[in-house]
Amino acid sequence: MKNVLLPDAGIIRQPKWGHLKDLHKAIKLCEEALIATDPTISSPGPNLETSVYKTGSACVAFLANTGTNDATVTFNGNSYHLPGWSVSILPDCKSVVLNTAKINSASTISSFATESVKEEVDSLGSSSSGWSWISEPVGISKDDAFTKSGLLEQINTTADRSDYLWYSLSIDVEDTAGAQPVLHIESLGHALHAFINGKLAGSGVGNSGNAKVKVDIPITLVSGKNKIDLLSLTVGLQNYGAFYDLVGAGITGPVTLKGLRNGSTVDLSSQQWTYQIGLQGEDLGLSSGSVGQWNSQSNLPTNQPLTWYKTNFIAPSGSNPVAIDFTGLGKGEAWVNGQSIGRYWPTYVAPTSGCTDSCNYRGSYSSSKCLKNCGKPSQISFLLF
């Protein structure tokens, strides 16, 4: 998000935007010859290549240096300097209108004037904080829940209705004295929360390289009936790739309960699970902020999962773009006046290693090249308008 040419608010990000504009303009000057004929390609030296498109009325040349060192090439009797790993474009086979290594656009850095609401949010002991909330029920809370044997894959089950799928199961435990049970869960991704008897017991999350989740969560059971509620989330960790449609998501198992009093392990995977697609708040339309019984008591719940929050703010005057900074929040989705502005996850940060203060564009591209902002979230600010 930070490196796109044109962010969602339409703020031009220089020099990338300007450099791409110059490239498009240069290619447009070559259009007649490019679409009329095939190139004549030659190699005037090591790591050097010329591609010439010539018709009766036009001549276009591309001079390429595929090496990492600067070079000089002679073409049509003229000498041209080529920086390493660059291409010069000559729409008339004489004059260079663009070299890809030379940036002519001015660099600009966008900045926002901050209007903080930190004082309001921090003064949780006062009902004037402006925040209210609704707690999402844990587990099955909707009439359209259904029961199936075994664990279902999430994408095919939810059919794009929601990012969330509840897996719910009741088990009977005869005697818990001296037991140290551990709930083992394996999921295709992308994240999950485990609740035991309505209380959060643990969570797990994949990463962009491997969205799968495998967790062992120590839990506390009571003698008699116990409720296991697992919430699986898709969060966009993987969003492209070969056979992406076959990757799948959700808790596909195994799900086992280990460390019972007799030392046995119980496989819960094939039992009768109850499923609920989505959250109750989604069906109620809580994202509009105009429905539901919102709590506005003095103590705003924090670090508590499955909570809907709402506040009001006055839009700043003027026509400049406005952004909301989500630093301090966990993971969720945000709406303004009922319109979704996107999913936020500022607690999910990039690896802390791999960044460097220097960057050399020359040489083959790799995803680990010229990394910046290690240890930081990919996005914390969401533009509104």
CB 254 within 8 A of CB 216: no
Euclidean distance between CA atoms 141 and 349, whole angstroms: 33
pLDDT at res. 82: 98
pLDDT at res. 125: 39
Euclidean distance between CA atoms 261 and 244, whole angstroms: 43
Q: pLDDT by residue (tens digit) across 37-59?
A: 999 999 999 999 999 999 999 99
CB 33 within 8 A of CB 58: yes
Give the start-to-end residue ranges of the domains of the chain.
16-99, 146-278
Half-sphere exposure of 4 (CA within 13 A, CB side): 9
CB 45 within 8 A of CB 73: yes
pLDDT at res. 327: 87
Percent over 90 (pLDDT), the chain: 61
Look at residues 9, 345, 375, 337 and name the one whose alpha carbon lies nearest to residue 163: 345
Q: pLDDT by residue (tens digit) across 97-110?
A: 999 999 988 776 66
pLDDT at res. 124: 39
Segment 334-361 shows an average pLDDT of 89
Largest CA-CA distance found in the chain, in angstroms, rounded: 93
**Topology, domain 146-278:** Jelly Rolls (2.60.120)
pLDDT at res. 4: 62
Euclidean distance between CA atoms 172 and 220, whole angstroms: 13
Please name the CATH architecture into which domain 16-99 falls.
Answer: Sandwich (2.60)
pLDDT at res. 1: 43
